[in-house]
Amino acid sequence: MKAGLFTRFGGPEVLHQAEVPTPSYLADQMLVRTHACGVCGHDLLNRQGHFPGTRLPCVMGHEISGVVEEVGPLIQQFAPGDRVALTQRISCGTCPTCRAGRDNLCRNGPGFYGEDISGGYGQFVIASPRNAVRLPESIDLSTGAILSCAVGTGFHALGRARLQPGDTVLITAATGGVGIHTVELAKLMGYRVLAITSSEHKSELLKNAGADHVLSGSDFHKSARDITDGRGVDAVIEIAGAPTFAASVRSLSAGARLVMVGNVQPGNVQLNPAIPILREVEIVGSGHALVADLQRVIDLVARGQIKPRIAHSLPIEQAAEAHSLLAQGSAAGRVVLTHH
């Protein structure tokens, strides 16, 4: 099959097109012809060499939609021709985390697309009933590609935040692919939304997505406290990581939760232990969407309650350009690569 890949770590220029073997599937798996694949900040970090488990040559891409091409003899839930969206990881289905309904934490299955297994920059991927969800005809395949990560990641994180309608949530990196959909989801769920952006000219875009207040600058915690009458916010969805972490922590009310979703600058952040001790704030991790999250997101999109945003759509041959666009931070929404 044709695929966008890299054989060494580096800048966008390491991405190129090549012929690679089509992935082989097991009796309980299926082969999916990739239609589209979203480009995530995770991809940029992977290409730069920040994930030690990545195997070279690497076919990246974990935001995948497509059409089932072939099924193994044990597959009964899907058939060739089915349109599907995939979660980022194929779980095993039997380990303690899978049995607890936390399939995104499974480390016994085939693994994560673009690191453990061949990803959506290739014409075909393997999939499983444990990570595939049917797409209704009302959702086009390019939109379907971004539902698990760009939309589902925020949906999962808001669940981890344990908020109640009327609570105040602060969302960093709010104009990015995950951020802007998290703003829209948070408003749909009945929360007061504070959106943080480094691009002040995108303020109106964020307000249209549902933000009640748009803040910028490294000291946005001051504005967050002013807006909440000095109390602080009930939760932060921390998508940027290191660049905004300090101000995010200072934005929290007593007993609040900071949900860590992303970190655009790999490495450590500083935290004074006195803050979580004296104020009983929680630092909560949030990974990628569960299959159940993807099912909910697809339903919300099908009913018109969430409108996924594709900023740019490029052919897979322009993967390097897609990575450059994302790195520039100019895209409000998701950049998507499509296969012919």
Tens of pLDDT, residue by residue over 87-141, are 999 999 999 999 999 999 999 999 999 999 999 999 999 999 999 999 999 999 9
Reported as a single tens digit per residue, the pLDDT across 265-320 is 888 999 999 999 999 999 999 999 999 999 999 999 999 999 999 999 999 999 99
In the numeric block, the tokens 């969430």 are attached to 306
Structure confidence at residue 199 (pLDDT): 78
Reported as a single tens digit per residue, the pLDDT across 216-235 is 999 999 999 999 999 999 99
Contacts for 14-20: CB closer than 8 Å, 24+ residues apart? 14/47, 15/47, 15/319, 15/320, 15/323, 16/320, 17/316, 17/317, 18/57, 20/57, 20/59, 20/118, 20/122
Q: End-to-end distance of the chain based on CA atoms, in angstroms?
A: 12
Structure confidence at residue 331 (pLDDT): 76
Rounded to two decimals, what is the model's pTM? 0.96
Provide CB contacts within 8 A for 242, sequence distance 6+. 263, 264, 265, 267, 269
Structure confidence at residue 156 (pLDDT): 98
Q: Does domain 2-146+308-338 have CATH number 3.40.50.150?
A: no
Q: Which two tokens stand for residue 143?
A: 């939109």
Contact 142, 333 (CB under 8 A): no
Percentage of the chain exceeding pLDDT 90: 94
| 152-166, 198-212, 232-246: range with lowest mean pLDDT | 198-212
CATH superfamily of 154-285: Medium-chain alcohol dehydrogenases, catalytic domain (3.90.180.10)
Residue 198 confidence class, pLDDT cut points 50, 70, 90: confident
pLDDT of 11 over the 80 cut: yes
Tell me if domain 2-146+308-338 and domain 154-285 are identical in fold.
yes
Q: Where are the domains of the chain?
A: 2-146+308-338, 154-285
Element (H, E) at 159: helix 152-161
Structure confidence at residue 248 (pLDDT): 97
Structure confidence at residue 290 (pLDDT): 97
Residue 261 confidence class, pLDDT cut points 50, 70, 90: very high
Structure confidence at residue 200 (pLDDT): 76
Structure confidence at residue 226 (pLDDT): 97
Provide CB contacts within 8 A for 340, sequence distance 6+. 315, 316
